[in-house]
Amino acid sequence: MGNIHEECGVFGVYANRPTHVADIVYYGLYALQHRGQESCGITVNDDGIFVSQKGLGLVGEVFTRSSLASFPSGSIAVGHTRYSTTGCASIKNCQPIEVDHQKGKLAIAHNGNLSNASKLRSDLELSGAIFHTSSDTEIIAYLITKERLRTNCIEDAVSHAVELLEGAFSLVIMSARKLICVRDKHGFRPLCYGIMPDGTYTIASESCALDAVGARFVRDVEPGEMIIFSPEGILFRHEHCRSAPAKHCIFEYIYFSRPDSVLDGIAVHGSRVRAGEILAEEHPAKADIVIGVPDSGLDAALGYSRRSGMPYSIGLIKNKYVGRTFIVPDGRMNQVRIKLSAVGEELAGKSVVLIDDSIVRGTTSERIIALLREAGAKEIHMRVTAPPFLFPCYYGTDVNSRDELIALNKTPDEIAKMIGADSLGFFPLSRLHEYVNGLGLCNACFSGEYPTEVKSVTNKNRFERKLSDTVD
C-alpha cells in the first residue's frame, strides 16, 4: 500500500549432514516474503557443487513442487528475497549472487545498501573488474575475492573486505565448506540465528523465520560480528564489534519487520503497541473508537486504545488476495476500494481515531479517509506511528525522492486538511528511542543525521549508464 519498501530478506542453513536444505530455506523465505516481493532465490551446496534457482516473483511463484524437489540434498544453503533498492528488477540481479574465483566458490545473499558503493565500484573498475549487474552485492563479491587471493581462508577474506564497506549490510555467505554471516558495525539491518531440534543452524533476517522452520532462536548477530559455521564447529569473530555506535534502523520497528519478530532484543509488536500508547499521550483525541489500517497499524491501535481507554475496533478490512498481480485496468476504478473496505456497522455515526504507520505522498491516506466517511464516520483523527519523512535513506530502503514527500512542504495541519482528516498527529522525533527502549538507532530519514558519510542523492538505477556517460 505504502511507498516505502524494505529491500531484502536473507536466510541460511548449515546442517551437519546432507539433507533437504532447500525445503528449509523455502519455508524461511516464505516467512521473510514481506521483506522483498520482487524476486527470490535459493542456492544449495551439494558437496561443493552449487545448484541455484532464482526468479522474478514471489516465493510461491518461483518455486513449484517439482522445481523444489529437483534441488539436490546438501548440507549448506542460502536464500534471498528481494525488493531492489540498487539495480532495477531483472533476472540477472536476483540473489544469491554466485562467483567462481581462483580458490573456490561463493554464494552471497545481502540485505542492506552500501553508502560508499560508487567509490568502491569505480576503484574496482579501474583495476580491470567487469560488472554483470548493477547491485551492491557484486561489489562485495569482488572485494572478498580480491582479499581471498592474499589470505589463507575465506573468513579472513571476508573480515578484510568488510573493513572497506560503509553503510548497511547483513550478509550470509556460503563457500564450499562454510556458512558465514556478518553484520555491519552499526547493525542497521537485523540478523539472528537459531538452532533446529536436530542441530541444524539457521540464520535469518528476522526471528519470525526461525520460528517458521521450528528453530529455537539463539541470539542476534551482534553489530560487527562475524559467525562461521563449518565442519570444525562454530567460530565467532569480533574484530569489528563495538567499533561504532549501534544504529538500528527504526523503520524496521515502525513498518518493515513482522510484528511477531524480536529484533535486537525488542519485540516488534510490543514496540508498536508502545508507539500507540505514546501517540495517545502526545496527540490525545476524543473519539468513540480506535482503529488501525491493516496490517501495520493494528498493533499501535491496540496501544492507543489501551492508553486512552477508548475501545479498539475493526473498521477496515484488507482484501487478502490483492497482491503483485492485481491489475488496475483503467483509471475509472478506485483501487483503494479493492484493497481495503470499511466495516460500516462499526463506523456509522462514530468519531474515529485512525492509526497508520506513515504518510508518504498522502494520496492513500486521503482515499482511506474518504472510504471511512462514506461508511458514516463522523470525525476522523489520524495518528501516524512515524515522524514525517524528510530525508532520503542511504541504507537500504526506498525513501529516496524528496520531491514526493508530502511533509517537506506542508505542516501537519495543512496535511490534515489535504487528506480530509479532522486532526492529524505524527509520532514525535524526540521519543523515537522509546520504541526500542533506548537502543542506538538510525533515524536519518526523519532527522537527516546520517551515521556514515553520504555524498549526494543517489537513485535506484545509479549504475545504469547512458550514452552520454561513456566513451566508446
Residues 311-350 that bind a copy of itself (CB under 8 A): 311-314, 317, 319-323, 325-327, 329-330, 332-334, 337-338, 341-346
* DSSP label at residue 279: H
116 touching a copy of itself, by CB under 8 A = no
Q: Tell me which of 56, 176, 418, 429 binds a copy of itself, using CB under 8 A.
A: 176
Cβ contacts of 121 within 8 Å, gap of 6 or more: 131, 139, 463
CB of 43: closest distance to a copy of itself in angstroms?
12
Bond into 72 cis (ω within 30): no
Long-range contacts of 181-185 (CB under 8 A, 24+ apart): 181/12, 181/221, 181/226, 181/227, 182/158, 182/221, 182/225, 182/226, 182/227, 183/221, 183/222, 183/223, 183/224, 183/225, 184/112, 184/223, 184/224, 185/223, 185/224, 185/240, 185/241, 185/243, 185/244
Q: In what order do the strands lie in the sheet with 289-292?
A: 289-292, 351-356, 379-384, 423-426
1 touching a copy of itself, by CB under 8 A = no
- The single residue of 8, 181, 192, 208 carrying the catalytic annotation is 8
31 touching a copy of itself, by CB under 8 A = yes
Q: Show contacts with a copy of itself in window 195-234 (CB under 8 A).
A: 208, 211-214
14 touching a copy of itself, by CB under 8 A = no
295 touching a copy of itself, by CB under 8 A = yes
Q: Which is nearer to a copy of itself, 337 or 378 (CB)?
A: 337
C-alpha cell at 210: 526461525
60 touching a copy of itself, by CB under 8 A = yes
Kindly tell me the burial class for residue 77, based on how many C-beta atoms sit within 10 Å of its own C-beta (0-12, 13-18, 19 or more).
buried
CB of 438: closest distance to a copy of itself in angstroms?
17
Bond into 295 cis (ω within 30): yes
CB of 420: closest distance to a copy of itself in angstroms?
17
CB of 392: closest distance to a copy of itself in angstroms?
24
Q: Which is nearer to a copy of itself, 403 or 467 (CB)?
A: 467
Q: Tell me which of 43, 93, 145, 365 binds a copy of itself, using CB under 8 A.
A: 145
Q: Show contacts with a copy of itself in window 256-275 (CB under 8 A).
A: 258-260, 262, 267, 269-270
Q: Tell me which of 33, 73, 118, 423 binds a copy of itself, using CB under 8 A.
A: 33
* Neighbouring C-alpha atoms within 13 Å toward the C-beta of 462: 20
Q: Show contacts with a copy of itself in window 120-139 (CB under 8 A).
A: 122, 125-132, 134
249 tagged catalytic: no
